[in-house]
Amino acid sequence: MIRLFICFFLFITGCFTIRAQQPGPAQPPSFNYKKLPSGLQYAFIMDKPGTTKPEEGGLVKLHMQSVCNNRILYSTVMAFKGKPGEFGVAKPAFKGDLIEAIMLMTPGDSIVCLVDADALFKNAKTKMPDFIKKGDKVQYFVKLVSMKSKDQVMKEQQAAFQKQIQEQMAKQKAEAAKQAVKDEKLLKAYFTKNKLSPIKTASGMYYTIREAGTGDSARNGDSVSMNYTGRLLDGTKFDSNEDTAFHHVQPFQFVLGRGMVIRGWDEGVALLKQGSKATFYIPSGMAYGAQARPGSGANPKGIPANSILIFDVELLRVNHPAAPPAPAVKDSLPEVKTDSLTEKN
């Protein structure tokens, strides 16, 4: 769909000018022009019955030709191979802009307009051709084929946007499914090579408990403190708070189940008790997916896209959130108003 300001159909995208091989388009001997307050002159050639007119923010489909001094400046017949052009409707860019007349039309109407060439080229920010002189008028012949209201355009745009999102999500889902199959094969090969028998979760990640903790179990909403070392499947160490080369040796803290870490961590840490040491084998879809991560001095390689991640972790501390205070209990006795009491003698 072509989105142009109708204020300048011809030159805003780089107009072309050709010399007409034949005299200009057939014209009635004369036109009974009317003039708008802006100075734009127009006359209806065909005035079909109708009340629905173009509005700002809508779209119009039309056939159009512009002529000046016996030269064709623009033609939808040539630009769109005989089909009507589709244009967005915008506010007039200047007094006497063509759009002022088009907004008087209804589908099926045809008009002829005279637009001041000086104002036209000034607002088009294009040098006026030598064959057009100051004071000349550009003559437009316009037939409005069809139109869409602003609401129709917005609904169609929203529908197209939703369709695009759905298609993109479906594509991502299909790609993720393919990557999950690939990750599973790589993980199984790794386990076989290293003679490992980790536990698989329903989501597809694997883990082993190297040392069982005896403290509280970690639950969503708990603040947890961790030691960790992360490696790629090829053994490349990409991060660690136990290796001084990565320049952060303090325990890593986060709130479990809030999406503050990759999905594999949220799920894996929830399997542990305080004091546990474990290893997580996290498929790429539960890590960074197709998004690569930049490297550092200690790991120039970074984390390539679709990487399986291995983490050796230790759950140092589990802090349960404090329970909210109990609501205050109101006195159940009714309030007695002293002014309602009377003393009897």
Q: Do residue 135 and residue 221 come from a single domain?
A: no
Are 143 and 270 within one domain?
no
Pair (201, 147) in one structural domain: no
Q: Which two tokens stand for residue 126?
A: 């294009």
224 contacts 254 by C-beta, under 8 angstroms: yes
CA 38 to chain centre: 39
Task: Classify residue 333: in a domain, yes or no.
Answer: no
Annotation says 254 is catalytic: no
Q: SS3 of 56, please? A: coil
Q: How many whole angstroms separate alpha carbon 140 and alpha carbon 132?
A: 15
Does residue 314 fall inside a structural domain?
Answer: yes
Domain check: are 146 and 12 in the same one? yes
Active site residue 228: yes
Is 311 labeled as catalytic in the residue annotation?
Answer: yes
| Count of Cβ atoms closer than 10 Å to residue 203 Cβ | 13
pLDDT at 106: 96
Domain co-membership, 185 together with 315: yes
Q: Which of 238, 246, 280, 281 is catalytic?
A: 238
Let me know whether 11 and 83 are in one domain: yes
In whole angstroms, give the CA distance from residue 56 to residue 102: 11
Residue 121 shares a structural domain with residue 35: yes
The verdict on residue 274 lying in a domain is: yes
Residues present in the chain in total: 345
Residue tagged active-site, from 239, 280, 303, 310: 239
> Is position 34 within any domain?
yes
Contact at 8 Å (CB) between 38 and 149? no
Q: Annotated catalytic residue: which of 228, 246, 280, 281? A: 228
Residue 167 burial by CB count (10 A; 0-12/13-18/19+): exposed, middle or buried?
exposed
Residue 14, C-beta contacts closer than 8 angstroms, at least 6 positions apart: none
Overall domain count for the chain: 2
Task: Quote the domain boundaries for residue 37.
Answer: 6-151
239 is catalytic: yes
Determine, yes or no, domain membership for 130.
Answer: yes
Contact 50, 107 (CB under 8 A): yes
Residue 269: inside a domain: yes
- Is 209 known to be catalytic? no
- Same-domain check for residues 83 and 17: yes
295 assigned to some structural domain: yes
pLDDT for 5: 39
H/E element holding 99?
helix 99-102
Does residue 240 contact residue 234 with C-beta atoms inside 8 Å?
A: no
> Which one of the listed residues 9, 11, 280, 311 is annotated catalytic?
311
* 339 included as an active-site residue: no
The answer to whether the CB of 59 falls within 8 A of the CB of 147 is yes
Q: Are 152 and 58 in contact (CB under 8 A)?
A: yes
31's CB contacts (< 8 A; 6+ apart) are: 43, 45, 112
Same-domain pairing of 183 and 292: yes
Contact 68, 121 (CB under 8 A): no
CA 297 to chain centre: 35
- Which domain CATH number covers 269? 3.10.50.40
- Residues 184, 98: one domain? no
Burial of 54 (0-12, 13-18, 19+ CB in 10 A): buried
Residue 171 resides in a domain: no
Element (H, E) at 118: helix 117-124
Beta bridge partners of 65: 75, 141
Give the predicted TM-score (pTM) of the model: 0.62
Segments in the chain below pLDDT 50: 1-29, 333, 336, 338-345
- 256 and 132 in a common domain: no
- My answer on whether 214 and 104 are in the same domain is no
- Residue given tokens 């952060």 in the structure block: 248
